[in-house]
Amino acid sequence: MLAVSAWHKPLLHVIWTCFLAVLLSTLVQTQFNLLALQQLGVTIPFSERLATSLHDVRHFAPVYAAIFSCSYLVSQGIALWLSRWVAGRWQPALFALAAASGLWCTLMLVNALAPMPTLIAASRSLMGLLSLLLIAALAGAIFARALQPLPSARPQRALDASALVVLLPLLLSAGLVSPPAMATKSEYRVETLVKGLEHPWSVAFLSGGAMLVTERPGRLRLIHIDGRLEPEPIAGLPAVFASGQAGLFDVLPAPDFAQSQRIFLSYACGRMRANHTCLASARLDLSQLELTDVTEIFRTYPAKTGNAHYGGRLAFLDDGSLALSLGDGFDYREEAQRLSSHLGSIVRLWPDGSVPEDNPFVGQPGALAEIYSYGHRNVQGLVYDSATKQLLSHEHGPKGGDELNRIEPGVNFGWPVVTQGIDYTGARITPFTAYQGMQPPLLDWTPSIAPSGLTLYQGDLFPGWQGDLLVGALAGRQLQRVRLTGQGAEIVEVLLAELAERIRDVRTGPDGALYVLTDDGRGRLLRVTPALDGAGAKVH
């Protein structure tokens, strides 16, 4: 009982001050997120503000508690140990400084380890970060005041208490439950054409039967008509910024490639603290395996920091113009609602980089003329249906809220004012799943499948798939067949789930087969064709 009485008081104080800090930080986080929307001109009724605050207390607070408690318990344990040499009146400052420093270090560590640049959205701004640190400091100061006078005659007790506080995070645990993978009866066969590709991103077909594949680290590879991978990458690529999600993205031959030998490449350019999505045009010399006449024809504005959310898909429209999808840069999600920024938009250009005069915002003051549609998060699927004159795209949502959209010029697709998803921390990004003047999706995926790669099937090998969309899934590790239904769309079938591999790209080949890239350090190019029965006939 004596041993317990030596440490139970500081332990109880650290628990309730930790709880107080988590609650206050959650409410502050919510208000900063809502303030960012208000600065876009969005009206947020008090009822929605209250509902969002309560949602975040329930869903964000446990995540933040795990992060904060680790930093707080360790920092306050260290402060308890140091308090033996600090005068009583300075102890609140010591504990406050320890708590704020511990949280700052923890947030920096989490951001370095997490796949996204900034995990806690409020800390994207200096004021938001300072607010969280001040709350941590307040909790530390209150903790110190609650302990005074600290036991000076028994310094070992303070040391015992600090050790227990530091070890307490080991008692915390969390579990994540993943939904079971969807299964479907296989009536197709899969063969590996090429393996050993380093995070392949895009595949394109050349006249004559050869293929090009991009690798995200910054290599363009040639696959010969016989399926043989050329050992050396094609030379002459522009400088690529490769880090995290940044790298070499799409490759698209010009419609007249047989005559012009021209291709288009999208890629990340710049450096960690100032980078862009860029688009270049080049001539491909197959005899020398090099690019010549390489010209950058587009670069996003403004520059951004970090290495996430670039978009990068390309598609030609029937008038010869070129559409390029872009991302919001993750930390810059509000930019998707600003026409003065390319982030979070789809742009439309002529192949020389000039702007079509009928783009929707040409001549509008303060708007970038290249923008074709906006309010997107991270568009990684883009295809043009020449039969229906439709440009279709899909984009990543956060935790849920992936979208399939029919793109129309000048239309606002809502992000981040509207989404079906929530942040990775469980916090609400917005109170709204619909908002006046913003286009709803044809289909949304919640939970997220992380869609990447999109093709419109128009081949002969799978007659029942004519006009359907094939959607790759990174997190979902599958391929989904989707059918447009008037004003919406529906999932018809799940394919390739048995492979349990991240799907980065999917294309319809000239032979009617599906060509699929898996996203891995040793990724593969797969060919999907109808299954054969025992007599060698196709199974339908």
The fold of 188-530 is: Neuraminidase (2.120.10)
Residues whose CB is less than 8 angstroms from the CB of residue 176 and which lie 6 or more positions away in sequence, other chains included: none
Here the tokens at position 372 are 């074709």
Average pLDDT over every residue of 401-423: 98
Note the pLDDT of residue 536. 52
Residues whose CB is less than 8 angstroms from the CB of residue 4 and which lie 6 or more positions away in sequence, other chains included: none
Note the pLDDT of residue 151. 46
Indicate whether 143 pLDDT > 70: yes
Here the tokens at position 278 are 């860029």
Cis omega before residue 416 (within 30°)? yes
- Main-chain phi, psi angles of 322, to 5 degrees: -120, 130
Nearest CA to 425 among 98, 12, 56, 51? 56
118 and 425 in contact (C-beta within 8 Å)? Answer: no
Q: Cα separation of 355 and 27, whole Å?
A: 45
Q: Supply the DSSP symbol for 378.
A: B
Note the pLDDT of residue 538. 61
Beta bridge partners of 472: 479
Residue 277 vs residues 152, 203, 269, 382: alpha-carbon distances, Å: 60, 19, 6, 16
pLDDT digits (tens, 9 = 90+) for 171-199: 333 333 333 344 444 489 999 999 999 99
Note the pLDDT of residue 5. 52
Q: Given pLDDT bands bounded at 50, 70 and 90, which one contains residue 393?
A: very high
Q: Cα separation of 280 and 288, whole Å?
A: 20
513 and 527 in contact (C-beta within 8 Å)? Answer: yes
The pLDDT mean for the chain works out to 91
Indicate whether 292 pLDDT > 70: yes
Note the pLDDT of residue 163. 42
What ranges do the domains of the chain cover?
2-169, 188-530
> In sequence order, what DSSP letters do the residues of 388-445 get, joined into one string?
TTEEEEEE--SBS-EEEEEE-TT-B--TTTB-S-B-TTS--S-SBS--TT-PPPSEEE
pTM of the model: 0.90
Average pLDDT over every residue of 485-495: 93
380 and 395 in contact (C-beta within 8 Å)? Answer: yes
Number of H helices, E strands in the chain: 6, 23
Average pLDDT over every residue of 401-405: 98
**3-class SS of residue 467:** coil
Q: Is 311 left (phi over 0), alpha (psi -120 to 50) or beta?
A: left
Q: Cα separation of 200 and 204, whole Å?
A: 12
Note the pLDDT of residue 7. 58
66 and 58 in contact (C-beta within 8 Å)? Answer: no
Indicate whether 241 pLDDT > 60: yes
Average pLDDT over every residue of 81-87: 84
Cα angle value 155/160/165 (rounded, 5°): 125
Note the pLDDT of residue 177. 36
pLDDT, greater one: 162 or 350:
350
Note the pLDDT of residue 6. 53
pLDDT digits (tens, 9 = 90+) for 150-171: 444 344 444 444 444 444 443 3
Note the pLDDT of residue 14. 83
Beta bridge partners of 491: 482
Q: Given pLDDT bands bounded at 50, 70 and 90, which one contains residue 233?
A: very high
Nearest CA to 454 among 416, 484, 417? 484
**3-class SS of residue 276:** strand
Q: Is 521 left (phi over 0), alpha (psi -120 to 50) or beta?
A: alpha
Q: Cα separation of 520 and 538, whole Å?
A: 31
Average pLDDT over every residue of 502-512: 97
521 and 199 in contact (C-beta within 8 Å)? Answer: yes
Active-site residue set: 309
Percent of the chain with pLDDT over 70: 90
Q: In a 10 Å sphere around its CB, with 0-12 CB exposed, 13-18 middle and 19+ buried, how is residue 285 labelled?
A: middle
Of 118-127, 170-179, 322-331, 342-351, least confident by mean pLDDT is 170-179
Residues whose CB is less than 8 angstroms from the CB of residue 162 and which lie 6 or more positions away in sequence, other chains included: 76, 77, 78, 79, 80, 81
350 and 281 in contact (C-beta within 8 Å)? Answer: no
CA torsion 434→435→437→439, rounded to 10°? -20
Q: Which amino acid is at 60?
A: F
